[in-house]
Amino acid sequence: MDQRTYNQYCATARTLDIVGERWTLLLVRELLTGPKRFGDLQSSLRGLGTGLLAARLKHLEREGLVRKVVLPPPARTPAYALTQAGAELGPAVLALARWGMKWAMGERREDEAFRAGWAVLGLRACFDAEAASGTRAVYEFRIADEIFYARVEDGTIETVLGAAQQPDVVIEMDDETLAELAAGERTLADAIRHEVVRVSGDAEAVGRLKSLFRLPQPQSRYGRAPQEV
């Protein structure tokens, strides 16, 4: 099947020719947190069939955004990883996430999947680099069965799947609470007060959490409720 194209000599159009198909940017989102096996990608992207996933990965390989790798021991299994070109889509994906937090999230729909691991990129999207100037701390998040951490170093952030060696702060909660925080249905302070979020570690680093990670205030895309015609 021929690849669809906008047939425009424009950087935006050329980019959308490559990554504009459904599921493509979500595959990039998954790989921004590190190499993934085929099964890992299929598990994370509910609704994406095996054949379409294989086709999308082949397309991204052909376009130079994804390459095949072998995971290090003890896994030693085939996986997919972003190339330099693929990884440089990171800022665009994070910009879309920030826009979505402000203009698109709203309440979670009944049939919508939610995975705690998506918060790994969410932390980067709502990170306030200016507020983090001079801060050095490691925050470990334990969300149900998933563990990841954020290393803050003087205005920069690195987010990693897995446990930190010596976290300064540990934050624990379940999937549902994280979804409520992401939707703006409750604040972190309220969740801590009601003990649905448990925070332990260095008191000063805990106190900086609110300023380091700022969720945009949700806004209506319509300015006011659209009138019925």
pLDDT of amino acid 45: 94
What residue ranges in the chain does DSSP mark as E strands? 66-70, 78-82, 136-143, 146-153, 156-161, 169-173, 198-201
pLDDT at 159: 94
Q: Which of 123, 127, 138 is nearest to 206 (CA)?
A: 138
Low-confidence ranges of the chain (pLDDT < 50): 1, 229
pLDDT value for 186:
86
Three-state SS for 79? strand
Domain spanning 116-212: which CATH class is it, in words? alpha beta
In the chain, ranges of CATH 3.30.1050.10 domains:
116-212
pLDDT value for 69: 97
Q: Which CATH number fits domain 11-88: 3.30.300.30, 2.40.128.110, 1.10.3720.10, 1.10.10.10?
A: 1.10.10.10
